[in-house]
Structure 1
Amino acid sequence: MFRSNPCLNCGACCAFFRVSFYWQESENELGGPVPQEMTEDISPYVRAMKGTNQAHPRCVALRGQVHEKVQCAIYAQRSSTCADFGVHWTSDGGFYQDYSDLERCNKARSAWHLRPLFMQVPRVQIQRPIMKHPRAHGHCAHAALRLHRSHHNNPARNQ
């Protein structure tokens, strides 16, 4: 596991991809969380974060320099596109991810000449489970042993 969230020192995805989403997410009167003034229309049904729909994208909400300390100015109000991006970091350095999103993350990191992130599997202590068979306890074990003996000592069976 990572010691800290590498996204806080990156920001490559915010300065590489177009961040587009359904228009209602920025309709504040309808309960959309994304500040409308930070978006632009892409089509009648799709909006994008300002700055991301251009040849050299950079989200208007990105604060800081890529590969240095960065943060999202509207993190609590970010679009579903950002919230659903499949690399999620926890406060203790753990994470869970969608492999295709990790590939996209690394594509953005590569464009900024940053090393790729790799899928990390935390080391855990694996212990073989204790198998509990109902016949292995109490009277069931004795009944199983009697059945086994009677089966092997049956003269009719040996003919």
Structure 2
Amino acid sequence: MKSSAVTIKELSFLSGYSISTVSKALNNKLEISKGTRETIKTIAKQYNYVPNNYAVSLRMQKTGSIAVIVPDITKACYSHSLSHLQTSAESFGYRILFYQSFYSNTKELNCVTSLSDGSIDGIIVVSSESKENSNYVNNAFPIELLHVDSNQSVEEINDLSYTSLLNVLKG
């Protein structure tokens, strides 16, 4: 069994089918016979094939990832927010990429800038300060500012977090 990642091109070679046929089989396209799909999927499983998320994201123009930037994960209100954001995002088929700004506006802005590379579908910036969206001008994806502080109840933090997530998902 091969331990390193195998590509569609390598699966094509191993199976004797074209790259296009392998791709269609792995994506359950009905134009590929059931027998061919099963053969290719068996080889893919044998060689531990894992789809390249970056390639899928390029094709679909959707990454399935949302970045969350918090000032300090050790502060309860931020960890509650992050926890609720993650479970909520997962229920929509998204994953969370988590960053800490350590209360630095510069680090926060650097995170937003570095994430402008198309690797995410949106950003939620969690902060105890009220900020304006104009600080994060970006047309590539939605950016939501989530104001959370220790005076809020867990239920209120959860509600605000969920609303922010929905706003990002709406685009």
Q: Which range, TM-score by smaller chain?
A: under 0.3
Taking structure 1 as the reference length, the TM-score comes to 0.24
Taking structure 2 as the reference length, the TM-score comes to 0.23
The structure having more radius of gyration, on CA atoms, is 1
Higher relative contact order structure (alpha carbons within 8 Å, sequence separation ≥ 6): 1
